Structure formats: structure tokens, C-alpha cells
Chain A
Amino acid sequence: MASLRLFSTNHHQSLLLPSSFSSKTLVSSSPRFVKSPSRRSQIQSVLQFNRKPELAGETPRIVVITSGKGGVGKTTTTANVGLSLARYGFSVVAIDADLGLRNLDLLLGLENRVNYTVVEVLNGDCRLDQALVRDKRWSNFELLCISKPRSKLPMGFGGKALEWLVDALKTRPEGSPDFIIIDCPAGIDAGFITAITPANEAVLVTTPDITALRDADRVTGLLECDGIRDIKMIVNRVRTDMIRGEDMMSVLDVQEMLGLSLLGVIPEDSEVIRSTNRGFPLVLNKPPTLAGLAFEQAAWRLVEQDSMKAVMVEEEPKKRGFFSFFGG
């Protein structure tokens, strides 16, 4: 049995994993980020302003977003990262592989436009292009649901069906998508097995609590057994106030326990719930919220196959002057 070190000695107050701060800021080995020592270039290297990310790896990149534990934010991550990629100009197909409890269409506000699913495509009730729901906000983003809530997927070719879908998307007339993002269901049941079948890389979403971490470690082990080696981690729902009070594990503690590269850190944000209820993903908010910014940064690093080499640690709140009471 695996022995998870659940208690770490160093409690950092790390919250937001900023951008691919990696060698680009601290070591400054990449010239495209740090072109000049000016302030603006430095902050651009930290927050990655005003530059389209360069796509790394072979297309289509097939990424499965999984966690093991439910309710940690897989679907939210899929929606926001997917739309962020679309905003960066990449063609994205998001597949909701949650067979029993699909919700990605709700988060994207596309629930009224899902008429056909993969099950209908398999049965020959529709073609694949008819089952793809194109987002009107970003036309290079398409949603594909694998089944309707009450229908059952024939598992005889469940995993194969996703591989056929990927092949069909590669050869479609309008061109292969740059990203195929698969929203994996919770657990390690038949839905999980189906979802990870065509994936080349995985994004593990977890929260900084021991239940999610144990499941995440298990799922990581299963993914590695299945041959998926490129696994990165998103730590979701991070609360700096609890980290400061040592009531929550810090991001660096989580990383130390799982031993995975960091793709992003998403702070706890009430806007996530609001955006979910409105069917309007967080990254489309203007101005973006803190969590939306973090999702954007995670999507950026996903494009460039980068990982975080530094985290953002919250400082003490700024002391306000006496005259701030009077509006100064």
C-alpha cells in the first residue's frame, strides 16, 4: 500500500501559482519572456501579458482532466481552461465523458443546444458534426457530450468509441482541433476507464485536503499504469487565510506529497459559483477575477507544456494609513 505523507513540516503560505515563472522569470533563461529588465517586461514574464502562447507537442493534444474524488472542480477546470484555450485562438473540442452525471453543458451555458450525443452518433442517429455544439461566444470551441443522462453507453466499445471520435476529429474537413479536452467522471469506474482511453496527457485536479489527495495519488498511479506519463496538477480552492493559520496545506505541501508538476493554483472564489449558476465561465468575466486569472495562466502553461517553478505567497495585508479612514 502506498504510504502518503499527509503531514508536512513546512507550512508555506503559498497560494497562487503564478505563471510559468519557471526559468523564464527566476532564472530568466528564456529570452522571449525577459527581453529587457524593465518593470513591464518582468511583470509580463510573471503574468504572461500580451503574447499568444506557442503550441507545443503534436496536435491534437488529448488531455484528460481527472481527479478521483468528486466535487474538486474537474468540470469547472475543463470549462475554464477550454474557453481560455479558445480565447488564445486554438481550436478546442471539449468532451464531457461523465456518463452518468454530465454538467459541462450547464457550466458553458449550452444545455439547451445539446440534442445529440456520442451515443446517437454510434447508433447512427446523427453524424459527428451534428453532435458537436459550437459555442457562439468563441466559435473555435465545441462541446461534445458522450451520452444523455438517462441513456447507457455500451461498454463493449466505450473506450474504443472515444478513440474513433479522436480519429474522426483528426480527419474532419475543417481541420483537426488543437486540443481535445476530456472531462473525466469522478471515481475509477467504467466512466473513468472510458475517459482516459484516448488521452496522451492528464491534468489532475485536487484540493488541499487529505481525502482529495489520497484519491489523487491513486488516480495518478492508475494513469501511470495506463501509460500516461505527462501528468500535471492543478490545486483548486486554495484559501490563503487558512494556510496562514496552518489549517490548510499549502500548495508546496501538496506538491511534496504527490510529486507532480504544478500547472496552476486556483484560489477559492465565490465568483466560481456565480459563474456556474449563470452558465458563463469565469474566464469570460470582465475584468477577470482572481480565479479566472489563475485558470488563464494554467491554460497558458498547458499550451506550452510548461509547469510552475514558483508559487505566489500572500503577503500580510497592506497597512492603511490613518487618513485612509477619511478617504485618503
Chain B
Amino acid sequence: MASIDSLQFHHSLFNLQSSIGRVKLRIPSSLVLFRRRPENLNWVRVKTNQRFVCKAISDDSSTPDEEIIQNDNDVATTTQSNIPRDSNDSITRFRSMITNIARDSESSISRFRSMVTTLPPFIFVMKKCSGNSLWIGICIASTVLVAAIRAYVVRKSRDHRSTGSVADLVRRGQLRSGDRRGISKSLNYEDPFNNPFVKLGKGSSTVEMCGKVYRLAPVTLTEKEQTIHQKRRSRAYQWKRPTVFLKEGDSVPPDVDPDTVRWIPANHPFATTVSDIDQDLAQTNVYQKQGVPFRIRAEHEAMQKKLEALQNEEKLNNLGIDSQNARDFQRPYKFSAKLDDDNLPKNSQENQTGNSSSEETHKS
């Protein structure tokens, strides 16, 4: 059983026996014993802080139970030979403690031994692995390789997620096609912060938002400080809002406060002092609730008047030439109506070109 790993836990005893180095480690609350079993090793005692003692002993033939008992004797013997005589009391107490621990742990040792003996496959594997470390290396290498591949894939997918597929855009609410597909829901004020990235920390002292943890720190600005800042600004910035806008070069009217004048250059990019429309009229336009807007109506009326004027003018002109021209334009139709039985296509062409028909009438 020299190659079996034995691990024992007790309330005050920690016993470890490794198969690789054949090391037996026993750790009481105040003492550590290392027991090595390679052959031809004599007693070696190491003191650590006067409370930990590591020992390596050569003991190949003893069983674990015997080892424990014998170990107790060894400890006692070693203690007797090296520790001053006046510490006999402490040695005795220590010996009795070890004996008690050994007795208490007998039952657990026996249970553990029975458990170990019921695991022959594990023992077989351990024996085999201890002989061939190649397989262990392969296992470790394959694990590292799998983890690295997984990390790479996760990172790659995370990078590609922000490129924005259609589904991603719909999910983020940036594409409205989700409405047609029935994917997205309309947002309501009752639920504006239904955000899976917002989590509450323990005891509400922290809030995790979008992967970052925040804690709350109170604002330190007081009303008094605000007042001090306002007074400072009122002293620093003396300003009156300009109410009069004049073009550069114009003279200031006598009843206007010069501080309220704003000078607008002639080439100002977006402001001008020139207005095409009267101020009262502009105000009326803004207040207009219904009906045709002023300029549209004005333009319409102006066009209407112009049209009427044109029509009146045309009528007058037409009246002047009406008697002669009307007869001239009526004749060809009457004439062609008499001839249309024989030559319809020809007449139709002639009707499209009024000049030719009129020429014919003149000829006739």
C-alpha cells in the first residue's frame, strides 16, 4: 500500500500520505510531522518556530496503524533525547495528545482504508499515470488549447456583434422593420428602464449598469455656495439683452439705450436688419390658426387680379377684331364640312394645321 494516496482530515489532525514522494504529512494543531519512507533514511528533525517539527523516517514495513503508534513512540524518543529534561511535562502532555488523536482517528482511518480498497480502478489509473506523465501533459495541453480556442471564439463573436446585422439593429430598436416583423414592442413610459444591463447590488449600496459597478456619493454643493457663485457672476458679467438691432453704420436713435443695441454687420451669415414684412403683419401671420396664409392669399389675389386684367384686355382686343376674324375662322370648317364625305383623312390633316385650311379657303 505504499503507493496509495491517503488523505485524512480530523478536527485537529491533518494526515497526508503521498504516493509520489511517499511523504506522510501529519499536522496537528501545533505540530507538523513529515514522514518519508525512502530506504536508508535516518531521523531528521526540523524545528519551525518551535511549534512545527518535520521528520523523515525510514519505515517500510509498518502499516498505517502501526506507523501512527510507532510515530508516537518515535516522537517521544526523539523528544527525550533532544529536549531538555525540564520539559518532561510538556512532552508527556504532547504524547498523551497524540495518543488520543490516534485513537480518535482510528475509526476514520479504518473507514478511509475501506473506501480506498473499494476503488481499484482509481488505483490502477494512478499507478499507470504515475508511470507515464506523457498522458498528463497531453491532457493539460488539450485543456489549455480548448480554453484558448473558446476565449478566441467568444472574443470574436463579441467583436462581430457590434457590426450590426438586421436582427441586431431591430433588437436595438434602430430599425423599424421590427414593427412589421412583430419583433419589437412599443416603448411605454411605464417601462422606460427595463434594461437587462441594470442590476442592483447587495444592500442597494451599489448599482451595476452596463457591466460597471457604481456607488452613490452625495453632492456637496450647498445653497450658500450657489448664492456665492451667483453674486460672483453678477459682479463679473454686467449685461443687458439687446433689444434693438441696427446695421453697422446706422446712427443710434435718441430714445434707445446704447447698451441694448446690437450691431449686425451687413454680411452677417444668418441675421439681417432688413425685413420685407411689417412687424404687425408678421405677428398676425404667427397667430393665424386656419385659412390660407397671408402671402399665399396675397399672391393668389394678385395673380387673380392680373389674370382678370389680362382677360379684360383680351376681351377688348378680341372685340376689335371679332367681326372679321370670327368669319374667317368659321369658313373653313363649314367648307370642309361640305367636302368631308369624299376626303375625310385629308380634312382631318388640314384641321390639325389651321394654316393650310385657311389657305384653302382663301383659294376657294
- A-side interface residues toward B, CB under 8 Å? 1-3, 12, 14-16, 18, 21, 25-26, 39-40, 42-43, 46-52, 84, 87-89, 99-100, 121-130, 147, 151-161, 164-165, 167-168, 171-173, 190-191, 193, 196-197, 217-218, 220-222, 224-226, 240, 252, 255-256, 258-262, 274-275, 278, 280, 283-290, 293, 296, 308-318, 325-327
Contact = CB atoms under 8 A, between A and B. Distances in A.
Interface residues of B, number: 84
Interface in B153-178: 154, 171-174
B256 interface: no
A287 B196 contact: yes
Contacts of B239: 221-222, 225-226
Interface in B184-204: 184, 187-198, 200, 204
Contact of A310 (B151, B217, B245): B217
Contact of A325 (B151, B226, B245): B151
Contacts of B221: 255-256, 259, 261-262
A222 B192 CA distance: 36
A201 B236 CA distance: 21
A308 B216 contact: no
B202 to A, nearest CB: 9
A168 B150 contact: no
B149 to A, nearest CB: 12
A318 B287 contact: no
Most chain A CB neighbours (cut-off 10 Å) among B204, B225, B281: B204
B217 A12 contact: yes
A103 B193 CA distance: 28
A42 B193 contact: no
Nearest to B221: A255
B286 A121 contact: yes
13 contacts: A2-B232, A43-B204, A87-B192, A89-B189, A122-B285, A123-B282, A124-B297, A126-B296, A155-B262, A164-B283, A310-B217, A310-B218, A311-B217
Contacts of A196: 241
A286 to B, nearest CB: 3
A326 B147 contact: yes
B270 interface: yes
B302 interface: no
Interface of B: 147, 150-151, 154, 171-174, 184, 187-198, 200, 204, 206-207, 209-210, 212-221, 225-226, 228-230, 232-243, 245, 262, 264, 268-277, 279, 281-283, 285-291, 293-298
Contact of B219 (A152, A262, A280, A317): A262
Contacts of B289: 127, 129, 172-173
Nearest to A289: B210
B281 A124 contact: yes
A245 to B, nearest CB: 16
A295 to B, nearest CB: 10
Contacts of A161: 282, 286
Q: Which 7 A-B residue pairs are closest in the complex by CB-CB distance?
A: A259-B229, A124-B294, A221-B237, A2-B236, A286-B173, A154-B275, A124-B295
A315 B213 contact: yes
A157 B287 contact: no
Most chain B CB neighbours (cut-off 10 Å) among A193, A197, A274, A287: A287
Most chain B CB neighbours (cut-off 10 Å) among A21, A125, A312: A312
A211 to B, nearest CB: 18
B293 A125 contact: yes
Contacts of A154: 272-277
A286 B185 CA distance: 10
Contacts of A220: 233
A269 to B, nearest CB: 9
Contacts of B147: 325-326
Contacts of A100: 269-270
A154 B271 CA distance: 6
A51 to B, nearest CB: 8
Nearest to B225: A259
A265 B210 CA distance: 16
Contact of A315 (B196, B214, B233, B241): B214
Contact of A88 (B189, B218, B268, B283): B189
Given A16-B209, A50-B190, A124-B296, 10 more contacts: A100-B270, A125-B295, A127-B288, A127-B290, A152-B270, A190-B245, A255-B221, A285-B174, A313-B216, A315-B213
Most chain A CB neighbours (cut-off 10 Å) among B150, B194, B218, B273: B218
B218 A260 contact: no
Contacts of B286: 121-122, 128, 161, 164-165, 168
Contacts of A261: 221, 226
A88 B218 CA distance: 27
